Structure 1
Amino acid sequence: MAQEKVQINVYDMFWTNEYTSTLGVGVYHSGLEIYGVEYSYGGHPFPLSGIFDIAPKDSEDLGEQFKFKETIYIGTTDFNPNDISTMIQQMGHKYQGDQYHLLHKNCNHFTAEFCKLLTGKEPPSWVNRLASVSSYIPFLEKALPKEWLTPMALETSLNQTCSETTQNSAVLK
């Protein structure tokens, strides 16, 4: 059996880490790299899989707030590319875009579960420390902007902003 390398690519969400890293809690995005493809999970407002793939370490594809931080070697797996494809399809039922939540079901939760399936090992705890800490400090979730937590809250916020902009434009005319 082939032994394929499994690693995690971690991205610094630097605009938030400026504030949280002094507390020992960073906000990171992660993806699992195997067979030259990086898999991750993100939110969107639809009840469809939120799992996506990108070229490894392609922070530009993720967006301007992401900056590649480091790669963490986890181990190897015997699963072949067809097995990986099947796993991603099955995990897509659990990791739907409209179920994303920054603290309770995020990219790091997906990466940890996928990593455990492939290698029996988990990523270092610091990768998802903010979510872990939030379970012990319940008010943390209330302190964060709702738009950061779920895609539905972000969509609602964007719709309100667009509506207000349209109303303000009409008043000015």
Structure 2
Amino acid sequence: MNFFLVRWPGEPVLLNVYDMYKINEFTSNIGLGVFHSGVEIYGSEYAYGGHQYPFTGIFEINPRDEKELGEQFRFRQTIQIGYTDFTEDDIKRITNELGKEFRGDRYHLMNNNCNHFSGSFTKGLSRFILCGQDIPPWVNRLAYFSSWVPFLERCLPKEWLMPMALQHSLSCRQDSTCSEASTPQY
């Protein structure tokens, strides 16, 4: 009897995409939707948002939990990006390192947003290569398009910068009454 050792490809790396505004019901069909994204791995989702402080804007939520993000977010779909051999501890170290680049005070709706973070995290634009695959271009198409139409950025609401989950993380950082499990360590 012959036995073959089957090697699993590693941990799945998933991209969770959210519609950020009801207008997507109309505009996403022409390729100009407004989307938020986060990378899901090992049962957690990592995303990026803006705030005024010079530390990480990366936060962790339960995967596909649009309520944790806020009322302007609606879960759209999950896209499998690839697989990784990094461990959970490695992922924590990587997000900690990426937090130096993706600080809250460096968030920019068009040039350094949540979708840029997701692409950097999955493709490995920093020194870490999670799975070597980029996110689909349509997820961040509006940011690219707006670089050609500068006034568009001024038309978008500023509250899109900070999801509720990031607001909670900031509150926990300033308030020692939050449980350690809900406070990001990056």
State the TM-score, normalized to the length of structure 1.
Answer: 0.79
Flag structure 1 segments of 5+ consecutive residues without an equivalent. Answer: 152-173
- What is the rounded CA distance, in whole Å, between the counterparts of 2:19 and 2:160 in structure 1? 17
- What is the rounded CA distance, in whole Å, between the counterparts of 1:98 and 1:16 in structure 2? 27
For residues 44-64 of structure 1, what are the alpha-carbon distances to aligned partners after superposition, in whole Å with 9 as ceiling and x for unaligned? Answer: 111110000000000000001
Find the structure with the greater CA-based Rg: 1
Residue in 2 that maps onto 1:99? 106
* 1:50-89 matched pairs, under 5 angstroms: 50-89=57-96
Whether the 8 Å contact between 2:20 and 2:73 is mirrored in structure 1 is yes
Whether the 8 Å contact between 1:102 and 1:148 is mirrored in structure 2 is no
The root-mean-square deviation of aligned C-alpha atoms, in Å, is: 2.0
Residue 107 of structure 1 aligns with an amino acid whose one-letter code is C
For residues 82-123 of structure 1, what are the alpha-carbon distances to aligned partners after superposition, in whole Å with 9 as ceiling and x for unaligned? Answer: 111111011101111111111111100000000112111101
Whether the 8 Å contact between 1:5 and 1:75 is mirrored in structure 2 is yes
Residue in 1 that maps onto 2:35? 28
- What is the rounded CA distance, in whole Å, between the counterparts of 2:97 and 2:65 in structure 1? 25
- What is the rounded CA distance, in whole Å, between the counterparts of 2:146 and 2:159 in structure 1? 14
Flag structure 2 segments of 5+ consecutive residues without an equivalent. Answer: 1-6, 125-129, 163-186
State the TM-score, normalized to the length of structure 2.
Answer: 0.74
Q: Is the counterpart of residue 128 in structure 1 residue 135 in structure 2?
A: no
The structure richer in helix per residue is 1
Identity, in percent, stands at: 51
SS at match of 1:129: helix
Distance 1:8 1:14, change over 3 A: same
Distance 1:31 1:146, change over 3 A: closer
